[in-house]
Chains A and B, each alone.
Chain A
């Protein structure tokens, strides 16, 4: 040891710190220094990395259901190297779990659970649970889709524990609903309770390890001390772990953040972190009445045996117990590996999962784009998507409107993924599709898959086989069902699933741009186009007007301008009569108003117009295109001043009471095009769902 300075003498005289450290450093390492002793230190080192990065994250994170997502997004996208810090913390949890498993295996293989190290063993097991608890609680904290849904599942598993389950779940979640209390509670566990448990156990674990010395064969010829030889190996191991972590973080571009948690969403493909996948799959192995075997009995038994190992060691022949323990731990790891592979393969081949994953990716990118461009609304991340016409608005439009209307030429497409089993294929009738003419004959399997996937009433019209990609050929079969809807089946040869799309039949106008100048100008130009009233025979009035109208394109422009300037900017509380008075003044006569009065006003009124405003077969246009008018049109299209003149079965169904005010507004903004345009993505969007599935399968890494 180097010479002590006066200062260290001074410190040592008062604290004996220096001599303590020197003494520990000079301790000989049993059997000499080497890599076989690094696992415990590497684990402690990985834990320390988690501690440092975790504290850094704490300086920016907010445990609230409204703002957790935003704060994590901010760390990830706005703070300098925040993505590295969070990435290290995220993947660091995997490193801790892996090193823990290695340390555990080594301890069992070397039978280090035996006397006098029982307490080391038990403290180690307690820490193992604390670590798994950290992994579980940390998953939720970003309050994104992934953490939210995975935690719902995890806490519900806890809820199936006999007797105390439901109470434990309610206490953990902080009530019945998942929200602020869930976050603050799990956050408290994650940053306070569990780390404290680990640190206290670690101190004991370490002190006991010093007391009993390292386990292993004595090799008298090797006389290295802890410092510097073993310290070097330990630091090298920690350095390696850190290097791998950093590599993974940079390769993955950080930990990633899904769209904000949406408790109303139904199709998020929730999966736990990879090290819990085995448990997840174990759960799937059992039917609901025996599920508890997978969630409780099997894991519980393993844990109990591990805890009792030092005692079993006394009760039974030691070598037998050791053999049993080794068999158990390798059995558990092997079983976990098998279950994990099974879970990954299942997702790999599950077209529905891949589609859901694709949608989740789109939502993730959209959330990121919105947060970047506009920031989060003060009410929190939950409203980020709910107020986005392209997200919530488009969902509502698809669910409520696009079975009749179109938007930008697209009607509702229902997507189904059929995954026939061998029995399904055997029972399918390929003759249904016999007589399809294609250059080369389709294989029996392809025909049977298509026959299984397509509805009974399907009438084939056209089939094509695209084999441009050398590795796979795509077969697309188009036709119609009995109602006349277009049905398209897409299948990649050699794959088990068939994607079937059913397109609704458009029977009403195209809503893109409704309430804007473009829409009304287009209507005035060609009312019988399918974009307007071409598919709505009961609204033939405009086409009849057009046939007899002599307004020039310039005059039609003026009418459209008049709408933009005076009609669409409707102000609540001004009666139609008061509003119309402004045009009495000849000075203020808009040319569009004049044309309107000459041609349109024959059918359309402002307010009460003529005698009672209801005698004419046309809707009242006062405030047309404004949010108020459109909202009313959605809620009560059959009102007397709107389309009440039509027979009941000819009217659009009303949505009064079915949509909230916020939902109506977000739909109307979608129609008017009032939203942040979708970011042009770097990659060309996949042309079809099936192609997307193929692309996804080719690129997706199975882990994480």
Chain B
């Protein structure tokens, strides 16, 4: 290797090293959000009593939680909405809980005008009262949430639901960690 080649090699190596030393922490820094895994500490929380619900009339309830937004802690504020739907007496579950977050693009789902289904106002996804799709705009039906088993005959039984978020735009229901 002659002097010139040595310089060429050295300059290239040095340049690459400098770039690397800056790029590695830089990329790691920018990718920090990917590493922040939220542990699944969500618990069943009481939203209503069985007697509060009437069959065929979904009611929405707020999920209230203390929130940590990067470095700020906010006191308990609504962070999400859940639709509770009372089922007919012969159904296996007395109540189903549906997340109001549309699986299409995360707009907030409301009850449709005739009260017989759900509608997402952003892109007109329609859903049945049990959350299944009416049209094919959303890739899947509304996301059901886990409800703690309750005694269907006791109107005072507390309806307890585990709130979760799911990835949007996929056919499969994938929980967001």
Residues of A in contact with B (beta carbons under 8 Å apart): 45, 49, 52-53, 56, 59, 67, 70-71, 73-74, 78-82, 84-85, 88, 227-229, 231-232, 235-236, 238-239, 242, 246, 371, 374-378
B72 CB–A CB distance under 8 Å: yes
Contact of A82 among B4, B14, B22, B32 (CB under 8 A): B32
| Given A80-B31, A239-B17, A242-B21, A378:B7 Cβ within 8 A | no
Can you offer 15 A-B residue contacts whose CB atoms are under 8 A? A45-B18, A49-B22, A70-B70, A78-B71, A80-B29, A81-B24, A82-B32, A84-B25, A227-B8, A228-B7, A235-B15, A238-B14, A242-B21, A371-B71, A378-B74
B30 CB–A CB distance under 8 Å: yes
Q: How far is the CB of A619 from chain B (nearest CB, A)?
A: 34
A82 to B17, CA, bound (A): 20
Return the CB mask of B1-43 against A: 1 if under 8 Å, else 0. 0011001101100110110011011101111100100000000
B154 CB–A CB distance under 8 Å: no
A71 to B4, CA, bound (A): 48
Contacts of B153 in A (CB 8 A): none
Establish whether residues A227 and B11, one from each chain, have CB atoms under 8 Å apart when the complex forms.
Answer: yes
Q: How far is the CB of B130 from chain A (nearest CB, A)?
A: 39
Contacts of B73 in A (CB 8 A): 374-378
Establish whether residues A70 and B72, one from each chain, have CB atoms under 8 Å apart when the complex forms.
Answer: yes
A397 to B17, CA, bound (A): 56
Contacts of B25 in A (CB 8 A): 81, 84-85, 88
A583 to B17, CA, bound (A): 79
Establish whether residues B30 and A231, one from each chain, have CB atoms under 8 Å apart when the complex forms.
Answer: no
Contacts of B74 in A (CB 8 A): 378
Contacts of B75 in A (CB 8 A): 378
A374 to B8, CA, bound (A): 54
| Given A232-B10, A242-B21, A79:B71 Cβ within 8 A | no
Interface SS of chain A: helix
Contact of B4 among A49, A74, A79, A228 (CB under 8 A): A228
Contacts of B17 in A (CB 8 A): 239
Closest B residue to A237 by CB, please name it.
Answer: B14
Interface SS of chain B: helix
A82 to B29, CA, bound (A): 6
Contacts of B26 in A (CB 8 A): 52-53, 56, 85
Contact of A85 among B11, B15, B29 (CB under 8 A): B29
Establish whether residues A79 and B14, one from each chain, have CB atoms under 8 Å apart when the complex forms.
Answer: no
A229 to B3, CA, bound (A): 9
A-B contact count (CB 8 A): 91
Closest B residue to A77 by CB, please name it.
Answer: B71
| Given A73-B71, A74-B70, A375-B68, A228:B22 Cβ within 8 A | no
Closest A residue to B36 by CB, please name it.
Answer: A78
Closest A residue to B23 by CB, please name it.
Answer: A52
A376 to B32, CA, bound (A): 20
Q: How far is the CB of A216 from chain B (nearest CB, A)?
A: 19
Of B28, B29, B75, the most chain A CB neighbours within 10 A belong to: B29
A571 to B8, CA, bound (A): 80
A381 to B28, CA, bound (A): 26
| Given A377-B73, A378-B74, A235:B29 Cβ within 8 A | no
Establish whether residues A74 and B71, one from each chain, have CB atoms under 8 Å apart when the complex forms.
Answer: yes
Contact of B7 among A232, A242, A246 (CB under 8 A): A232
Closest B residue to A246 by CB, please name it.
Answer: B21
A473 to B21, CA, bound (A): 49
Contacts of A235 in B (CB 8 A): 10-11, 14-15, 18
Establish whether residues B28 and A71, one from each chain, have CB atoms under 8 Å apart when the complex forms.
Answer: no
Of A82, A88, A235, the most chain B CB neighbours within 10 A belong to: A235
Establish whether residues B72 and A79, one from each chain, have CB atoms under 8 Å apart when the complex forms.
Answer: no
A71 to B22, CA, bound (A): 21
Known pairs A82-B32, A84-B29, A232-B10 / 16 extra A-B pairs, C-beta < 8 Å? A56-B29, A70-B70, A71-B71, A73-B71, A84-B25, A228-B7, A228-B8, A232-B8, A235-B10, A235-B14, A239-B14, A239-B18, A242-B18, A375-B68, A377-B73, A378-B75
A71 to B70, CA, bound (A): 8
A73 to B72, CA, bound (A): 11
Contacts of B8 in A (CB 8 A): 227-228, 232
Contacts of A88 in B (CB 8 A): 22, 25
Of B10, B17, B26, B72, the most chain A CB neighbours within 10 A belong to: B72
A374 to B75, CA, bound (A): 11
Closest B residue to A371 by CB, please name it.
Answer: B71
Q: How far is the CB of A486 from chain B (nearest CB, A)?
A: 43
Establish whether residues B18 and A238, one from each chain, have CB atoms under 8 Å apart when the complex forms.
Answer: yes
Closest A residue to B3 by CB, please name it.
Answer: A229
Establish whether residues A375 and B30, one from each chain, have CB atoms under 8 Å apart when the complex forms.
Answer: no
A24 to B35, CA, bound (A): 44
Closest B residue to A79 by CB, please name it.
Answer: B32
Contacts of B14 in A (CB 8 A): 232, 235-236, 238-239
Establish whether residues A79 and B29, one from each chain, have CB atoms under 8 Å apart when the complex forms.
Answer: yes
Q: How far is the CB of B57 from chain A (nearest CB, A)?
A: 36
Return the CB mask of B68-83 against A: 1 if under 8 Å, else 0. 1011111100000000
Closest B residue to A238 by CB, please name it.
Answer: B18
Contacts of B3 in A (CB 8 A): 229
Establish whether residues B32 and A80, one from each chain, have CB atoms under 8 Å apart when the complex forms.
Answer: yes
Instruction: Please provide the 10 A-B residue pairs with the shortest distance between their CB atoms, ordered closest to farther.
Output: A375-B73, A70-B71, A228-B7, A235-B14, A81-B25, A232-B11, A228-B8, A74-B71, A79-B32, A232-B7
A681 to B116, CA, bound (A): 62
Establish whether residues A52 and B71, one from each chain, have CB atoms under 8 Å apart when the complex forms.
Answer: no
Establish whether residues B11 and A228, one from each chain, have CB atoms under 8 Å apart when the complex forms.
Answer: yes
Contacts of B18 in A (CB 8 A): 45, 235, 238-239, 242
A232 to B3, CA, bound (A): 11
Establish whether residues B29 and A52, one from each chain, have CB atoms under 8 Å apart when the complex forms.
Answer: no
Q: How far is the CB of A373 from chain B (nearest CB, A)?
A: 10
Q: How far is the CB of A301 from chain B (nearest CB, A)?
A: 40
Contacts of A236 in B (CB 8 A): 10, 14
Contacts of A59 in B (CB 8 A): 30
Contacts of A79 in B (CB 8 A): 29, 32
Contacts of A246 in B (CB 8 A): 21
Establish whether residues B71 and A375, one from each chain, have CB atoms under 8 Å apart when the complex forms.
Answer: yes
A78 to B71, CA, bound (A): 9
Establish whether residues A376 and B72, one from each chain, have CB atoms under 8 Å apart when the complex forms.
Answer: yes
Closest A residue to B7 by CB, please name it.
Answer: A228
Contacts of B21 in A (CB 8 A): 242, 246
